[in-house]
Chain A
Amino acid sequence: MDYRLQMNDISKRFGEVQALRDVDFTVGSNEVVGLVGDNGAGKSTLIKIITGYHAPDSGEMYFNGEKTEGLTVARARQLGVETVYQERALADLQTLWRNIFMGREISGRFGFLDVDKMMHETEELMVGSMGFTSSAVAPDSVVRTFSGGEKQGVSIVRALHFQADLIILDEPTMGLALSEVRKLLEFVQGIKEAGKSCIFIDHNIFHVHSVADRIVVLDRGEVAGEFVTADIPLEELMDKMYRVAQTGSLD
């Protein structure tokens, strides 16, 4: 199997807290991996290592088979990793187009911005992907006025826009209306159909079970188990999750 991402023996400590201990984690080249676990299990730390935000204390990472060291966020994005963060990672006082292109502004050789192009592409995204039809929203609208679902839409479209190969969704359904959740799950299936990969983190095990090819269970910084979704019925998975939370072991 081809791997989009391979991580071996990843450990990360924040002061006294061992956030991750010898974690092995892989994502196939066309696979949706569900990442589940209780609060503090290390899910967010793991994805922030993948996105280059945190550096692991030890362990190895391979993107498309190539070893990567000293990963930064900018480098990870070049490698095709885009993330929809739980906290949305928007700048509320800035305009829509500045949020879409945050950290990846379209610019010339000397760093001067191509504002017209960014505005134009934002306009296209609004009509095409975000489904904004209200005349009150324009590329130079300030994001602060958007609803929760609209903000989520902005951060998803942003992840989508850069032709990412690996899209990470961190608690994407939080605070969404039911219809929006459904749209989101369809969007994850779309990633799969487009031949790309996805890491899907969600508290709601129903959502994860319905879209993931494989589910990785993290507990207290370690991988507690892995399941191919097709092999495990939802009820059994829920039982196991419950047992992990109680005892720290799957069986």
Chain B
Amino acid sequence: MTSRVEDQSIGQIGLWRTSLARLGRNYGLQIGIVGVLVAIWVIFVIGAPRTFLSPSIYAAYMSTIPFFAVMALPLTMVIIAGEIDLSFPSIMAIGTLAYVSTVGATGSIPLAVIACLIAGFLAGLLNGVIVVKLGIPSLVATIGTQFFYRGAVLVLTGGKPASLVSAKGAIIREALVGRIGNYLPAQMIWTIVVAVLVWIFLNRHRFGAHVYLIGDNEESARLMGVNAAWTRMMVFAVVGVAAAFGGILASMEVNYFWVTLGEGYLLRTLAAVFLGGTSVFGGTGTVFGTFIACFIIGAIEAGIVAIGLTGFWTQLIYGLIIVISVALQSLLGRRLA
């Protein structure tokens, strides 16, 4: 009788151990990234308690992090699909230019926001078409379109910035970048909406299933009937829409459209995706990881300033984060294989 009870409890422990191991295998990266966020937060609270225990710093985070987080989340899908996009900072400017032109032509702000998103979609789709139909590696294709889109904005505007004050007081502006209860930036809500949408499509929809499959083994996926070409083009198009959305959020926030809009976003957005555990080799990655990593990246930027280092350090640190993240992925991958 006693031995049976013991057997059962040993069995229980064994079961616990295997399910714990499985938990570690499946969610290890996510647990790790949350650990990093908490560790950085603790360091900052100890280092600068007055800054990091006041609510205003968090309001600041939630107003600036969304501008690149809304792009980093869909960009995660591009990286999972085994591709890369370097052109999204220029698409931010393309989208806002479409907004400004539409407001100028029609005076309608809702129409202008739609035009902005469509412009982003088309720019992203063009990336996808070049990569898929012409078979150009996305790294090269999007270096090209990055300059092409930026060049187009410069040529069309003559380099002149434009004011967005006409949107002041409009419901749409309040909905996009207003302050809820005079504290919570609306763009933070949009970031959560984007995160939930991307999570659902990546994890609970055929589209996302195919994104993982083509990034992991395109040949297998195609042999099993996955439409790799369509899936690949769509991930680029989605990032285009997201970049235009990020661009309009950032421009609405400051009521101004700078033709250089987007510069400085490339590094931190990519850093967030790779730090979040998405594999540069394709096939694996999580929305949750990217989401948390966006806040780590944002916190580091504020921390650099708070510690008293110059802005020059941010580039160095973001670059280092990318290199270390992908190096860790490679080492971990080799160990598992």
- Residues of chain A at the chain B interface (Cβ within 8 Å): 51-53, 72-74, 76-77, 83, 85, 87-94, 98, 102-105, 107, 111-113, 115, 135-136, 138, 140-142, 144
Nearest A residue to B200, CB-CB: A112
- Assuming the contacts A105-B206, A112-B204, A113-B205, asked whether A94 and B225 have C-beta atoms less than 8 A apart, the reply is no
Q: How far is the CB of B135 from chain A (nearest CB, A)?
A: 16
Q: B223 touching A53 by the CB < 8 A rule?
A: yes
Contact of B209 among A51, A52, A88, A105 (CB under 8 A): A105
Would you mind naming 16 contact pairs between A and B with Cβ atoms under 8 Å apart?
A: A72-B225, A74-B225, A87-B220, A89-B217, A89-B220, A89-B223, A91-B216, A91-B217, A98-B213, A102-B213, A102-B220, A103-B213, A111-B205, A111-B207, A112-B205, A112-B206
Interface majority SS (helix, strand, loop, mixed), chain B: helix
Are B220 and A90 closer than 8 Å at their CB atoms? yes
Residue of A nearest to B283 (CB): A93
**Out of B15, B206, B213, B337, which one reaches A91, CB within 8 Å?**
B213
Partner of B18, one of A83, A92, A136: A136
Interface size grouping (class) on chain B: 20 to 34
Contact with B221, one of A85, A91, A93, A113 (Cβ below 8 angstroms): A91
Q: Which residue of B lies closest to A51 (CB)?
A: B223
Closest 4 A/B residue pairs (Cβ): A103-B224, A73-B225, A103-B225, A91-B216
A-facing residues in B199-249 (Cβ within 8 Å): 200, 204-207, 209, 212-213, 216-217, 219-227
A72→B230 CA distance, assembly (Å): 14
> Does B336 sit within 8 A of A, measured CB to CB?
yes
State in angstroms the CA–CA spacing of A52 and B337 once bound together: 32
With known contacts A91-B217, A91-B220, A91-B283, A98–B225 Cβ distance under 8 A: no
Measured between C-beta atoms, what is the minimum distance from B107 to chain A in Å? 36
A89 to B214, CA, bound (A): 12
What residue of chain B has the Cβ atom nearest to residue A115's Cβ? B204
Asked if B102 lies at the interface with its beta carbon under 8 angstroms from chain A, I say: no
- Residues in B whose Cβ lies below 8 Å from that of A102: 213, 220-221, 224, 226
Cα–Cα distance between A112 and B200 once the two chains are bound (Å): 9
Cβ of B3 under 8 Å from chain A: no
Partner of B213, one of A51, A73, A94: A94
Interface majority SS on A: helix, strand, loop or mixed?
loop
What distance in Å separates the Cβ of B329 from its nearest Cβ neighbour in chain A? 12
Which residues of chain A are within 8 angstroms of B18 by Cβ–Cβ distance?
135-136
Chain B CB count within 10 A is highest, among A51, A74, A111, for A111
Contact of A73 with B224 at beta-carbon distance under 8 Å, contacts A98-B213, A136-B18 already known: yes
Q: Which residue of B14, B25, B213 has the most chain A CB atoms within 10 A of its CB atom? A: B213
Contacts of A74 in B (CB 8 A): 225, 227
Complex: chain A residue closest to B223, CB-CB: A89
| A105 contact set on B, CB distance < 8 A | 206, 209
Which B residues lie within 8 Å of A77 (CB)?
224-225
CA of A106 to CA of B224, assembled, Å: 14
Partner of B216, one of A93, A104, A115, A138: A93
Nearest Cβ in chain A — how far from B297, in angstroms?
25
Judge whether B168 is part of the interface by a CB distance below 8 angstroms.
no
Q: In the bound complex, what is the Cα–Cα distance between A136 and B225 (angstroms)?
A: 30
Closest chain A CB from B147 CB (angstroms): 34
A94 to B337, CA, bound (A): 14
Interface string of B298-337 (1 = CB under 8 A from A): 0000000000000000000000000000000000000011
> 6 other contacts beyond A111-B205, A112-B205, with CB at 8 A cut-off?
A53-B222, A53-B223, A83-B223, A92-B216, A113-B206, A141-B22
